[in-house]
Amino acid sequence: MTETKLFRHAGEGAWTPTPDGNRRRVLLHTDELMMVEFAFDKGGIGALHSHPHVQASYVAEGRFEVTIDGRSEILDAGSSFIVPSNLVHGVKALEAGRLVDRFHAAPRRLPRLTVFGPFQKWKTRASGEARVCCLGACGAAVLKTSPQDRKPAA
């Protein structure tokens, strides 16, 4: 069993490019919670998306236009926002900046959680609908209830 990392010091961890041209690094995580730092250049977009877990975000640096469920606000460094489960949300960097996002997976609502690797594509067996793992859009893990529910996309 791997021991959970309890501390992360400034500058630790490698940055990973995201499909939308930004950068992210997972700071810390457990089965129930993940903290991810995102870096945006001026004009960078965090595309509109949704996911089943609750997200709480802190504007560590810069200025962002944040949209949640069709409502937009401008947030400066020191501001924060929360995204309830399944609401469509996204950001635009009005200047270069960083967000620190926390994603909470509620095991009571999502039993037998499984985490996919970054950017993995999958599709549901029933609908054949292809999707991209949420790590590609927002840094959080894709959650699923069982291996039979979804299979990797071709």
pLDDT at 2: 66
Digit-coded pLDDT (tens) for 123-145: 333 343 333 344 434 444 433 33
Give all strands (DSSP E) within 14-135, no chain letters: 16-17, 23-29, 33-40, 45-49, 54-68, 71-76, 80-83, 89-104, 121-124, 130-132
- Residue matched to tokens 């995204």: 83
- Sign, CA dihedral 47-82-38-26, equals negative
Residue type present at position 21: G
pLDDT at 105: 74
Q: Which of 6-20, 54-68, 124-138 has the highest mean pLDDT?
A: 54-68
| Contact predicate 50/89, CB 8 Å | yes
CA angle 104, 107, 108 (to 5 degrees): 120
For the chain, domain boundaries: 16-104
- Residue matched to tokens 């469509």: 88
So what CATH class is 16-104?
A: mainly beta
Torsion of CA 48, 53, 54, 56, to 10 degrees: -70
